[in-house]
Amino acid sequence: MRLGLVVNNYGAPATEAVRRMPVLAEEWGYDSIWVTDHVVGVRSFQPVYGATWMEPMMALAWMAAMTSRIRLGMGVLVVPYRDPVLTAKMVATLDQLSGGRVNLGVGTGWARREYQALGRVDLFDARGSVTNESLDVMLRCWQGGEFDFEGKHFQFRRIQFDPVPIQQPRVPLWIGSRTGQGAPMRRVAQYADVWHPTGLTPEEVQESGAAVDDVAGREIPRTIRLAHGLGQTTAELIDLLSRYREAGCIEAAVSFGGGDPDLAQTGALEGVLEAAQALAEHRGEIG
């Protein structure tokens, strides 16, 4: 099972984490690094995230320049409050500059106030259908050339899109969800190259993954994003990851510490780096 490391592009140590951790993660042998997407802070984010956010596309561009092998994950991009043509262009540019290393996580978002701050609150209630149509726009953009688009939310004629991503036929879409049913899973069935849930147990991943495969009529690779509490031992985490592997997960993106307020204290980031390094040294034990 491949192993990814979530880089905290939020909170007081965000700048230092974005600058340092990608290079360290690549040195330690991680397969991927991941950032999280919010643009502004709102009170409802507390106490998980806080109010300080580095823009994720810019952060990944920096990471691309500082690394050469490790894959660059957006987990997950809130698609509906961004213009899909501009987003397609940014992702294609990042894929070109990184040598084809982008994993694009996709989500709908949940914070109405964030939509409002970005001038997209009129799309909040329809964000599921806006996400699907945005993906249609982006996928067509990545084919390149001149085309028209006529949808419910987006319409344009005779635009030309180039360059396309290095990865073909498209940048891999990692469709995120926090549930194993309903519209999110239908989106996974329709669009996903990879299913990328957050916070599900191994048993839930296995059960829901089998259900979505039935709906999709194909096997969709399963992954997981999870938070590793700093009080857990490396052995406990390895055991948990082994259970996810048995549930069919091909990769795990692990967050060390999340929004723990201790990370804002001087020197605390070093402890997170040491914990991450310890896990990397045991990576062979999880296959």
Q: Strand, helix or coil at 198?
A: strand
Q: Positive or negative, the Cα torsion across 217, 222, 226, 231?
A: positive
Q: Positive or negative, the Cα torsion across 43, 46, 50, 55?
A: negative
First to last CA, the chain: 5
pLDDT band at 182 (very low <50, low <70, confident <90, very high): confident
**Average of per-residue pLDDT values in the chain:** 88
Residue with tokens 């967050």: 255
pLDDT band at 219 (very low <50, low <70, confident <90, very high): very high
**Cis upstream peptide for 76 (omega within 30°):** yes
pLDDT band at 255 (very low <50, low <70, confident <90, very high): confident
User: Mind listing the pLDDT tens digit for each residue in 12-50?
Assistant: 778 888 998 899 899 988 999 999 998 887 766 565 566
Integer Cα distance of 121 and 115 in angstroms? 5
CATH number at residue 142: 3.20.20.30
Q: What is the total count of domains within the chain?
A: 1
pLDDT band at 135 (very low <50, low <70, confident <90, very high): very high
φ/ψ region of 40 (left if φ > 0, alpha if ψ in -120 to 50, else beta) reads beta
Structural domain of 192: 2-286
Give me the mean pLDDT over the 263-273 stretch.
Answer: 54
Specify the higher pLDDT residue, 25 or 139.
139
For the record, the structure tokens of 221 come out as: 């690779």
pLDDT of 236 reads 82
pLDDT of 180 reads 64
pLDDT of 260 reads 45
Integer Cα distance of 157 and 65 in angstroms? 35
Least confident segment among 41-45, 66-70, 173-177: 41-45
Per the DSSP assignment, residues forming a β-bridge with 155 are 150
pLDDT of 227 reads 82
Residues 42 and 114 sit within 8 Å (Cβ to Cβ): yes
Whether residue 68 has pLDDT greater than 70: yes
Using CA atoms, how far residue 198 sits from 27, 137, 274, in Å, is: 26, 26, 24
Whether residue 266 has pLDDT greater than 80: no
Whether residue 287 has pLDDT greater than 80: no
User: Mind listing the pLDDT tens digit for each residue in 221-248?
Assistant: 999 999 876 566 777 888 899 999 999 9
Return the C-alpha torsion angle 175, 187, 84, 63, nearest 10.
Answer: 0
Whether residue 252 has pLDDT greater than 90: yes
Whether residue 63 has pLDDT greater than 80: yes
Using CA atoms, how far residue 202 sits from 193, 257, 276, in Å, is: 20, 21, 22
pLDDT of 49 reads 60
Whether residue 126 has pLDDT greater than 70: yes
Least confident segment among 64-78, 109-123, 211-225, 255-269: 255-269
pLDDT band at 261 (very low <50, low <70, confident <90, very high): very low
Whether residue 271 has pLDDT greater than 70: no
Integer Cα distance of 49 and 153 in angstroms? 31
